[in-house]
A and B are shown apart, each in its own frame.
Chain A
């Protein structure tokens, strides 16, 4: 059974820093890996999706990488801003239609 882990559970950094969020998964036979953002009390917003055949995806200040052989994905945020404060979740799909989520990393960017 796929298990997804995100460490650390919480991270606090000063504004302007570049940072990396980590995601690891136990079964490397994934269809894709998706990164989401969740603001308090709200739904999930999809940030990036990396297909199993890809190594990375970029959107603006965000870059996600995927290394299936080691069971790891990272989300890189450049030049962090207070508006980036949120919980970031990663999820992988082993069975095509089903996502397995990590517990999330709660990110705080301090002005």
Chain B
């Protein structure tokens, strides 16, 4: 079974802090994704990566950056956290090919105060 893990289930940070959210997958997937989920807005893609050191902006990249130094690990960075980044953050991975089936981690509930 594919396993996608995220470093924290709950996180509380202060405005202006630099925040790192970590995601690790154990299935040698090329593709990894970061989404945020908000009531009424659904899931929105922040960034994705299709290989080590490769990244592409999603629909809402402003205020975020990412890092992928190893295939299994994809980090989301909030350079200077703001209250409007309070959200549920979900990481996913997939293997490129016809199926493109995405597997999700348990999520990190981030609160910025």
A102 at the interface (CB under 8 A from B): yes
* B42-50, B67-75, B76-84 - interface stretch: B42-50
B1-41 interface code vs A (CB 8 A; 1 in, 0 out): 00010000000000000000000000000010000000010
B102 in complex: contacting residue of A34, A42, A103, CB < 8 Å: A34
Chain A contributes a number of interface residues (CB within 8 A of B) equal to 23
Asked, given contacts A43-B106, A43-B107, A44-B90, whether A96 binds B100 with beta carbons under 8 Å apart, the answer is yes
Which of chain A's residues have a CB closer than 8 A to the CB of B99?
Answer: 32, 49, 51
Which of chain A's residues have a CB closer than 8 A to the CB of B50?
Answer: 97
A18 at the interface (CB under 8 A from B): no
Which of chain B's residues have a CB closer than 8 A to the CB of A46?
Answer: 101-104
CA distance A97 to B94 in the complex (A): 8
**A93-B43 in contact (CB<8A):** no
Which of chain B's residues have a CB closer than 8 A to the CB of A32?
Answer: 98-101
A21 at the interface (CB under 8 A from B): no
A88 at the interface (CB under 8 A from B): no
In the complex formed, the residue of A with least CB distance to B88 is A41
Residues on A close to B: CB < 8 A? 31-32, 34, 36, 41-46, 49, 51, 89, 91, 93, 96-99, 101-104
Q: 29 A–B contact pairs at CB < 8 A?
A: A31-B98, A32-B98, A32-B99, A32-B100, A32-B101, A34-B101, A36-B104, A41-B107, A41-B109, A42-B106, A43-B107, A44-B104, A45-B104, A46-B101, A46-B104, A49-B101, A51-B99, A89-B43, A91-B43, A91-B102, A96-B100, A97-B48, A98-B58, A99-B43, A99-B45, A101-B42, A102-B42, A103-B40, A103-B42
